Amino acid sequence: MTVVKLSPDDLCIASMVAAYEKKNLLDKALNLLMQLEKDGREHGVATLGVLVNWLVKLQLIDEAGQVLGMIAEKGGSLPFKSLLSLCDMYSRAGTGAEKKARQAPGGVEAEEEELLAPLVFENIIKGLLAGGFVHDAQRVCRVMETQGFAASQPLKVALSVSQSFGLNRPVK
């Protein structure tokens, strides 16, 4: 009798990490990934994408940046919504993340065919304004309008005030 050792593929591992995310068990997910690495299994873009989204939600900026580097090394790219979440995270991080925050919105124009809910756009714009990135907030607002969504009145006021005074004010 021949014993065949099966190894989970990238989508299977990504699903397992996503299941851990739902239960907020980061330590278990990382243990799984480290064990797979010890067994010689490289993490694919799908697994790394789930992990980076989770790290963004946890506001773990440096760790998310490291995983992004791993994705880039593999020639992969993040989903459109992940790029916007990264933009929001970096802009809210303040000092030291300015360059990353300015680069993240560039992905907004990359995949115009994928539409987002207006609330997601507004949260990103508010994050950019909170980080003091008025120009980038206006650019994302134009993309939002190009995709057929109108900015809410409070957001229009926040953009106008930020542009007029050039202040780094948090937006709620």
The pLDDT tens digits for 119-170 are: 778 877 887 787 777 887 888 888 888 888 888 899 989 888 887 775 544 4
One-letter identity of residue 80: F
In contact, 67 and 82? CB cutoff 8 Å: no
3-state secondary structure of 172: coil
Distances (CA, A) of 124 to 33, 92, 114, 131, 166: 30, 10, 16, 11, 18
pLDDT tens digits for range 58-104:
888 788 878 877 887 887 766 666 666 666 676 666 545 445 544 54
Whether the pTM exceeds 0.75: the reply is no
Each domain of the chain, given as residue ranges in start order, spans 10-78, 80-172
